[in-house]
Structure 1
Amino acid sequence: MVIEIGRLFAGARTYNGYEDRPVAPDLLRELYDHVKWGPTAANTCPARFVFVASDEGRARLSECVSPGNVAKVGEAPVTVIVAGDSRFYEEMPKLFPSRDYQSVFAGNDALIADMLTRNVPLQGAYLIIAARALGLDCGPMSGFDSAKVNAAFLPDGRWLANFLCTLGYGREDSLFPRNPRLDFDDACRIV
């Protein structure tokens, strides 16, 4: 499958409203089957994804987001809680069987935090790109109360919310005007 790059980047937008059209659970599984192949440091794969798709789940999640995001979460057929697994290293024997990375991470809170900080948002970005490639529209957001999300959806404390992303079939009338981006010379250096 060849995807035109504009669909993934320049032509893609952040949606704030969605058609009343469900996202099939099989499509969510296909989405993850692509996301899981994105590279992470030492193949740690620390991101975990909670697909909030039920009416009850969306109502609970709406209570955890900023007022400006309530309608978006309520209308989206799915909102993904992109979370980090604080004990991701327990999967290292499966994920990197040729080295004993489990003992490298176990008990090393600073290294665990570093891996979560760098790799969970990276895997979340893979989710956005893969969702767009599969024909879904996205609405990533950080306007939420992470303590409330964690208490409502991740109560054991092992997984911790990093950001949220709505998924569905976006309505063009929900788009804000396109904001500019920095040019190469403003954002990049070649050394």
Structure 2
Amino acid sequence: MTQQFHDNHLSANALDQIFREARSYNGWHDKAVTEEQIHQIYELMKMGPTSANMQPARLVWCKSQESRDQLAEFASDANKKKIKTAPVVVIIGYDIDFHEELPWLFPHTDAKSWFEGDEEGRKQGAARNSALQGAYLMIAARALGLDCGPMSGVDLDKITDQFFADQPRHRADWVCAIGYGDKETIFDRSPRPDFGKFNRID
């Protein structure tokens, strides 16, 4: 049987929307992000690949003004307004004990046993793969016509204590505002390196 390969690709406009023209926003228009849109983002994000389908990301969507104000208390001064005024800010965290879910997430084999007794290895795997999922989240949001404002200038320990208080094995890693970006709040695009600067093909 002849192998069939995919030769279709996204349009130039779609690639512009997701990558080439997309920006990290610092301010937002007063337009809500709905719960339906949040679910749509997740339904796309979860399809991105993770090692052994471990799906370690644990997300808290701060949609109410109360939750965003609480989150802003743990942010740097430069990020407080970004968080308070965004329609929604998602906390991207991870579960150190993600392996407990592997019997149904990766049923082909006993993948849970690969991670038992190795907490440090689980932390590394969870951090790496949840970061991947956070990137998928941003791509999904942009694909759905939304803008993103990722931030790391926050107190992750305090966010963990506040927002994952009922899940002691979860850790916050970074946050991302999502909404309709105000172009007046962004800088000129920073340089992007040519291929030869940081790449080689052996």
Which interval holds the TM-score relative to the shorter structure? over 0.9
Q: Shift of residue 117 of structure 1?
A: 2.6
Q: TM-score normalised to the size of structure 1? A: 0.96
Q: Is it true that 1:178 corresponds to 2:189 in the alignment?
A: yes
Among 134, 139, 147, which residue is 1:129 paired with? 139
Report the number of matched residues.
191
Q: Which residue of 2 aligns with 1:107?
A: 117
Inter-partner Cα distance in structure 1 for 2:72 and 2:124: 30
Q: 2:170: which partner in 1? A: 159
Structure 1: distance between partners of 2:188 and 2:106: 44
Q: Say whether the 8 Å CA contact 2:96–2:119 is kept in structure 1.
A: no
User: Counterparts of 2:35 and 2:117 in 1: how far apart (Å)?
Assistant: 36
CA distance in 2, matches of 1:5, 1:164: 24
Letter in 1 for 2:38: L
Quick one: which of 32, 39, 49 aligns to 2:42? 32
How many Å separate the matches in 2 of 1:141 and 1:93? 33
2 CA distance for matches of 1:173 and 1:29? 29
Partner of 1:9, secondary structure, is: helix
Shift of 1:114: 2.0
Q: Cα distance, 1:86 vs. partner?
A: 1.1
1:1-191 superposed matches below 5 A: 4-155=14-165, 156-191=167-202
When structure 1 is superposed on structure 2, of 2-11 and 53-62 the one drifting more is 2-11
**What TM-score does the superposition give when structure 2 sets the normalisation length?**
0.91
Q: Which amino acid in the other structure matches residue 108 of structure 2?
A: S
Post-superposition offset of 1:185: 0.4
Rg larger in 1 or in 2?
A: 2
Distance (whole Å) between structure 1 residues aligned to residue 67 and residue 194 of structure 2: 40
Separation in 2, partners of 1:182, 1:160 = 33
Q: Following the alignment from structure 2 to structure 1, what is the Cα–Cα distance between the partners of residues 42 and 181?
A: 20
1:119 positional shift: 0.5
**Match of 1:163, as an amino acid?**
W
Unaligned 5+ segments in structure 1 are: none
Structure 1: how far apart are the matches of 2:169 and 2:187?
Answer: 36
1:101 partner letter: A
Paired residue type of 1:180: P
**1:106, CA displacement in angstroms?**
2.2
**SS at 2:37's partner residue?**
helix
